[in-house]
Structure 1
Amino acid sequence: MKNVAGYDLSRLMAGSYGCLGVLTEISMKVLPRPRATLSLRREISLQEAMNEIAQWQLQPLPISGLCYFDNALWIRLEGGEGSVKAARELLGGEEVAGQFWQQLREQQLPFFSLPGTLWRISLPSDAPMIDLPGEQLIDWGGALHWLKSTADDNQIHRIARNAGGHATRLVPEMVALPRYRLLYSAITSSLNSSSTLAACLTPGRMYAEL
């Protein structure tokens, strides 16, 4: 980020749940729809999938989605017809309906109905595989882990932190404990008090003390 006239506070809004202010102006970049779209499914192990993804990231492939779910790697290709066709021949797998990605986005896949607490774990894209206690769905090519687990909250946070990421408990929500356990509570408190009217925007949403 280029800092010319001070820190751009609007960049802090993503994921803040409204705690840092109100969005009054939004700029959007509109891209044309891809000429060709294709979804593939390959039944491989998680380790094999992660190895494949690491190799694909080094190549100019028109991959717009990578998800590991139900013992299979789901791949979405988007781009020109020629590049999508060439990638399909290279990657292999069976062609499937594209509605999978909408169900994933809307959390309508069977995974999200499993018993247990739903966690959203963000990790560096190059983080090594971690052993999570429960059922998981891996999105963003390994950078986002959805977890259904009955494990202790402290254990989940510790695993995510040790892997260089952080965990957010989504369902059911925490009541007495903060949803985020990052090292930035002091910074967030200062921003919250200086950016909102009497810190009135969703108090206690991210941190119990705010």
Structure 2
Amino acid sequence: MQDSTEAFLQQAVRHAVDTNAPLKIVGGNSKSFLGRESGGLLLSTLEHQGIVNYHPSELIITARTGTLLADIEQTLAEQGQMLAFEPPHFSDKATLGGAVACGLSGPRRPFTGSARDFVLGCKLINGKAEVVSFGGEVMKNVAGYDVSRLMAGAMGTLGVLLEVSLKVLPLPVLELTTCFELNPSDTISKMTMLAAQSLPVSGLSYNGRILYVRLSGAEKAVKAAIGKIGGDAAMADRRFWKYLNEQRLDFFQGDTNLWRIVVPPATAELDLSGVWLYDWGGGQRWLKSEEPPRRVFSVAENAQGHAVLFKGKDRSGDVFQPLNGKLQELNRNIKQAFDPAGIFNPNRMYRDW
């Protein structure tokens, strides 16, 4: 039998399709700053809550998308498990749907996987007001495209997410952090060296002066790794990783444009002015800068990466790395297939869709 909130959401989408009225889809609204401004009638999934299935022994959880992330994480922690991609909250109203739609992953991402990697299946309302399901509670989906993973990072432009199934992982027995005081020119090589070794690394972040190295896993392995790499554990603030992920560090304060630049981890320092913070072992770089967007996008592209204006004073222009050629065509075709009338979060990612 269809859940009452699911029926309401489907009816709202059907009405929007019939009247050609765009919808602005939100959950807890904790990441409303991300992306371009989107117009349309507000459609909230926040009331669509609840864990549908949870199989601790199979490392799988399925929940409705309005379910609070905090509730999911508490349920998992009670069974000694976690969302290994460490989705940031930014608010106590953060939901599962928002975490998947924004596709953000925390410091553990290079070592365990991204949000997209943990999505096993989903249920959604498409642009024809149909309730459809993709994937499932399985480890592999080999029938054509892994459609459910397209939802990770789609910013709600492909449909109204109703349920998501995720793979989860056991909590580490022990987690320790050690620190190294380094100059920027030595940091990239140090992080590359640490990531290449057989160490239980679960975080590599550099704030411009100190390299933080987090190790997670079995007690014996973590202590052995600390003994091998050294560093100064006394310099480590136990709140650092939480504050980094939730952007509570001093670095993230202020009204300067905040850029998120993703490049191959070993990439040399980028020729952009501003203040930097490195995460993901150098693969994710935060930049506070007033450089023109066109220049930031160009530098990121030349470094075989991409940039996002994560928090900006002007969100009317390009926020995500501009698409060209076949990539642009592919994205347009996917959008057209899921949302032929263009009613879902129009212009949230790009100007014309």
- Once the two structures are TM-superposed, the CA of residue 151 in structure 1 deviates from its matched residue by 1.0
Provide the residue aligned with 2:107 in structure 1: none
Q: Percent identity of the aligned residues? A: 39
Provide the residue aligned with 1:182 in structure 2: 323
Matched, 1:207 2:345: no
**Normalising by structure 1, what TM-score?**
0.92
Deviations 1:44-73 (A, max 9, x none): 112222112222222110110000104110
CA distance in 2, matches of 1:156, 1:198: 33
CA distance in 2, matches of 1:70, 1:114: 17
CA distance in 1, matches of 2:263, 2:182: 22
Quick check: 22-31 or 55-64, which moved more? Answer: 22-31
**Structure 2 residue corresponding to 1:139, chosen from 279, 300, 320:** 279
Contact 1:124–1:165, Cα closer than 8 Å, also in 2: yes
Deviations 1:168-188 (A, max 9, x none): 012225443232212233222
Contact 1:178–1:204, Cα closer than 8 Å, also in 2: no
The structure that has the greater radius of gyration is 2
**Structure 1 residue corresponding to 2:301, chosen from 150, 161, 168:** 161
**Structure 1 residue corresponding to 2:166, chosen from 4, 24, 28:** 28
SS in 2 for 1:121: strand
CA distance in 1, matches of 2:266, 2:218: 28
CA distance in 2, matches of 1:150, 1:191: 33
What residue ranges of structure 1 are gaps of 5+ in the alignment?
none
User: Aligned pair in 2 of structure 1 residues 55, 37: CA closer, same or farther (>3 Å)?
Assistant: same
Provide the residue aligned with 2:264 in structure 1: 124
SS in 2 for 1:128: coil
Contact 1:160–1:166, Cα closer than 8 Å, also in 2: yes
- Once the two structures are TM-superposed, the CA of residue 23 in structure 1 deviates from its matched residue by 2.5
Provide the residue aligned with 1:55 in structure 2: 193
- Once the two structures are TM-superposed, the CA of residue 197 in structure 1 deviates from its matched residue by 5.8
**Normalising by structure 2, what TM-score?**
0.56
Contact 2:255–2:313, Cα closer than 8 Å, also in 1: no
Structure 1 segments, 4+ long, off by >4 Å, are 1-4
- Once the two structures are TM-superposed, the CA of residue 115 in structure 1 deviates from its matched residue by 4.4
CA distance in 1, matches of 2:157, 2:314: 17
CA distance in 1, matches of 2:255, 2:230: 34
Matched, 1:198 2:341: yes
SS in 1 for 2:329: helix
CA distance in 1, matches of 2:192, 2:312: 34
Contact 1:78–1:84, Cα closer than 8 Å, also in 2: yes
Contact 1:123–1:144, Cα closer than 8 Å, also in 2: yes
- Once the two structures are TM-superposed, the CA of residue 127 in structure 1 deviates from its matched residue by 2.7
**Structure 1 residue corresponding to 2:206, chosen from 40, 51, 68:** 68
Quick check: 75-84 or 191-200, which moved more? Answer: 191-200
Contact 2:202–2:216, Cα closer than 8 Å, also in 1: yes
Output aligned runs, 1:105-124, within 5 Å: 105-124=245-264
- Once the two structures are TM-superposed, the CA of residue 163 in structure 1 deviates from its matched residue by 0.1
User: Aligned pair in 2 of structure 1 residues 197, 24: CA closer, same or farther (>3 Å)?
Assistant: farther
Provide the residue aligned with 1:98 in structure 2: 238
SS in 2 for 1:23: strand
CA distance in 1, matches of 2:314, 2:165: 33
Deviations 1:94-151 (A, max 9, x none): 2223210000110000000144200111112333332321001100001101110011
